[in-house]
Structure formats: structure tokens, C-alpha cells
Copies of this chain bind each other. A is one copy, B any other.
Amino acid sequence: MKKYVFGADLGGTTVKLGFFTTEGKLLNNWEIPTDKSDGGSHIIADIAASIDGFLFGSGIPKDEVEGIGLDVPGAVSKDGLVLTGVNIGWEGTKDAAGELSALTGLAVACANDANAAALGEQWMGSGKDTDSLLMVTLGTGVGAGVIIGGRIVAGAHGSAGEVGHTALFPELTEKCGCGNSGCFEQVCSASGMVKKAEAYQKDGCFAGIPMEEVTPLAIYKAMERKLPEAEAVWASYTEDLGRGLAVFASVLDPDIIIIGGGISHAGEALLSPVRESYRKHVFYPAKDTPIVPAMLGNNAGIYGSARMVLNR
């Protein structure tokens, strides 16, 4: 095992870069813009240039570096091929790892960003010392990653862990972004919570808040002020989220379930009713599976990407 490893978290706006010891200590981190022009064809070269520049500037020889982990916002096969990277302009199957390796002369591993975040939490976050976990990130959408035996489960088509698109609400007729309807994400994302509030709309307002200002944070604050509509939305949301986690845990039975994303900042106000709903719906051997908040925040991706290289 060499001394150092890089993690690169490729997002739609920036690429986050992290320089770690192979024991998992983050020594430096920085960002570069994601250049989506020309079908995203400059992105890999930009990452290579930034890493090469960092190594040159710091005087660290490449033979002390184990490699680079790269996560991307798209489906990645279990062999590390990017199958879809629509948000960053890539089309068709792309060997991003091979390209980055050719440019830098370093070993490169590649995975989906939600899967990398889950691996990061398992390496140095809330899932430290566990063998398996499910991490669910509640944001504009619902992302998730599955770790079993300390490794990412990518799936046959790179879509393992896509719990956001499980058809848990067949009674819904509205279309999801994925083209189906009734997806978990339609109900348990930030916009899903806002949609629940819309049902309580009165004179263009929800709990006294103009509809265009209704966000999960506004609903949370109104719930804390014990406004009944907000309490009802919060109860319905946490019930649905807990049931979803119970379904996933009855399939996977992970050591731990980690919740990340903006909504998770509500802390125990979220997790406590979610655990109650989870216990009600999950198969009994898994009733006490811990449901905990994520620890690494926006750095989970660089941690997990770095870890991927060590997992090769």
C-alpha cells in the first residue's frame, strides 16, 4: 500500500478533489469547475491537469500515490464503465477511468456518485466498522448506495441502489422524471414533501406560508411551531420514508441505514418518527437496525472515491 490516494467527485457544476493518506486522512481538498462544453470532453483532462499540478506543486512523487477514485453523476457498470452521464454532457458508454489513467499514469477506479458517497460513509463516516449499509440521500431527488462486504454493489446495469425509483406508491398517476409513476422519489424527495403540503393549500398558502416559499425547511419550522397542517405533512412524510427504508432493509438487511441530504439536517425530528415507521413495517429480525445521519456531508463522494482505489 502506497502513502496517498486521490478522490474526485464529479458533479454538474464543480469537480471536488481530495488528497488523502491511504489510512483515510483528508490532507487537502479543492474544487475546479465542471466544463460541460463540447459534450463534456474537457472534464477528464481538467481533472488530470489539476491532480498533476497538485503533485508537482507539493513535490510528491507519483510512485507514492495509490491512484485516483472518480465518481460521476450517472450509471456506472461494475467494471467501472460510465453508461450514462447525461448531466455532464457525456453520451454513450465512456471509459472515464481509462482516459484519466492514460493522462495521469495513475490507477483509476470509477463508480456512481451516490454509491461512492455510501462507500465514503462506510470508510470514514457513520458506517465506519460496518460491513454492509444502505445510504439514502434526500435532496431534490432521492439517491442511494448499497455497500455489501465493504464494497459497492453496482448491479447488472449500474442501477443497484436506485431506491428513488422503486414503485412504492402505485396509486400515484403523476409521472416521475424517470418516466414511470409511483416512485419513492416522487414522495420522499424535497419536492415530494412540498407536494404533500400542496394538498393543504388554502388561499395560496400552506400554514400561513405563501406556496412559492414552501420548502422542507419551512415545513420543518412550521411543524416545530406545532401548526397542524405542518405536523400532518411531517407525519405523512416520515411514515412514507420509514416504510420505504423498511422495504429496502427487508431486501438487503444491512448493518446500518444512513440518511444524508438537506432534509437529514432536521436530525432527530426526522429520524425519530422515521424509526417508528420503519419498525412497524420491517421484517422482525431487522427491527433494530440503526438509522443514523450521514457524517461526511458533501465530502462523502471524495472519501468514497478514494476508498474505491484501495478496494480494487
Bound-state Cα–Cα, A131 to B78, Å: 11
Bound-state Cα–Cα, A160 to B159, Å: 19
Bound-state Cα–Cα, A201 to B180, Å: 34
Q: Known: A132-B155, A148-B148, A289-B156. Contact between A284 and B251, CB under 8 A?
A: no
Whether A253 pairs with B168 at a CB distance below 8 angstroms is no
Segment from A23-31, A240-248, A262-270 that makes contact with B: A240-248
Q: Mark A114-138, 1 if CB is under 8 A from B, else 0.
A: 0000000000000000011000000
Contact residues of A between 157 and 175, Cβ < 8 Å to B: 157-163, 165-168, 170
- Choice from B157, B182, B247, B254 contacting A285 with Cβ under 8 Å: B157
Residues of B within 8 A of A160 (CB): 251-253
Q: Mark A278-291, 1 if CB is under 8 A from B, else 0.
A: 00111111100100
Q: Known: A247-B247, A251-B252, A281-B180. Contact between A286 and B156, CB under 8 A?
A: yes
Bound-state Cα–Cα, A288 to B229, Å: 43
Closest residue of chain B to A287, judged by CB?
B157
Judged by a CB distance under 8 angstroms, whether A47 is at the interface is no
Residues of B within 8 A of A255 (CB): 156
Whether A286 pairs with B251 at a CB distance below 8 angstroms is no
Judged by a CB distance under 8 angstroms, whether A75 is at the interface is yes
Whether B247 pairs with A159 at a CB distance below 8 angstroms is no
Judged by a CB distance under 8 angstroms, whether A83 is at the interface is yes
Whether B280 pairs with A180 at a CB distance below 8 angstroms is yes
Whether A167 pairs with B243 at a CB distance below 8 angstroms is yes
Q: Known: A156-B289, A251-B166. Contact between A283 and B178, CB under 8 A?
A: yes
Interface range on chain A (Cβ under 8 Å from partner): 35 or more
Whether B182 pairs with A281 at a CB distance below 8 angstroms is yes
Residues of B within 8 A of A61 (CB): none
Whether A158 pairs with B251 at a CB distance below 8 angstroms is no
Q: Known: A281-B167, A283-B178. Contact between A148 and B153, CB under 8 A?
A: yes
Bound-state Cα–Cα, A149 to B281, Å: 29
Whether A251 pairs with B253 at a CB distance below 8 angstroms is no
In the assembled complex, the CB of A75 is this many whole angstroms from the nearest CB of chain B, namely 6
Bound-state Cα–Cα, A281 to B284, Å: 27
Bound-state Cα–Cα, A156 to B148, Å: 10
Closest residue of chain B to A158, judged by CB?
B285
Residues of B within 8 A of A159 (CB): 250, 253, 283, 285-286
In the assembled complex, the CB of A179 is this many whole angstroms from the nearest CB of chain B, namely 6
Whether B246 pairs with A248 at a CB distance below 8 angstroms is no
Judged by a CB distance under 8 angstroms, whether A110 is at the interface is no
Whether B157 pairs with A253 at a CB distance below 8 angstroms is yes
In the A-B complex, the 6 residue pairs with the closest CB atoms: A155-B253, A165-B283, A157-B285, A167-B281, A160-B253, A159-B285
Q: List 14 A-B contacts (CB under 8 A).
A: A131-B156, A132-B156, A149-B149, A158-B253, A160-B251, A160-B253, A165-B250, A166-B250, A167-B250, A168-B247, A178-B284, A180-B284, A247-B247, A248-B251
